[in-house]
Amino acid sequence: GAGVSQSPRYKVTKRGQDVALRCDPISGHVSLYWYRQALGQGPEFLTYFNYEAQQDKSGLPNDRFSAERPEGSISTLTIQRTEQRDSAMYRCASSANPVAVRFRGYTFGSGTRLTVV
């Protein structure tokens, strides 16, 4: 697509439920990134992919968080057994390739606002 698309825009879930957040990057972009942004804070890195390969998942806070990008395009971030502390804006971004990042930065989607009640 023309931009990075994330869905849903808003998600309210009960504590203990699993949630899946979707990211559709710019068509042809090799690299896809997930970030989490708490209220009043800057985005924090979670994980990233080149094509379908997960290159770095060091930012995932614990094993309840996982991500996949099985066909090298759309990615899903899954949070199992959600907790209130998981409430945040989850942002996806893409880049034409990993080298391009230091020259062009990322293109971000509008984010998914997750609220765990």
Partner 1 sequence: GDSVTQMEGPVTLSEEAFLTINCTYTATGYPSLFWYVQYPGEGLQLLLKATKADDKGSNKGFEATYRKETTSFHLEKGSVQVSDSAVYFCALSEGEETSGSRLTFGEGTQLTVNP
| x/- track of binding to partner 1 for residues 45-84 (CB under 8 A) | x--x------xx--x-------------------------
Nearer to partner 1, 16 or 105 (CB): 105
Cβ 93 to partner 1 shortest distance, Å:
8
What are the strands, taking DSSP E only, across the chain? 5-7, 10-13, 19-24, 31-37, 44-50, 53-56, 65-68, 75-79, 88-95, 107-108, 112-116
Interacting residue with partner 1 among 90, 95, 114, 116 (CB under 8 A) = 95
Interacting residue with partner 1 among 24, 75, 111, 116 (CB under 8 A) = 111
Q: Is 62 left (phi over 0), alpha (psi -120 to 50) or beta?
A: beta
Q: Is residue 102 involved in binding partner 1 (CB under 8 A)?
A: yes
> How many other β-carbons are positioned within 10 Å of the β-carbon of residue 86?
20
> How many other β-carbons are positioned within 10 Å of the β-carbon of residue 94?
25
Catalog residues that contact partner 1 under the rule CB under 8 A: 31, 33, 40-45, 48, 55-56, 59, 91, 93, 95, 98-99, 101-111
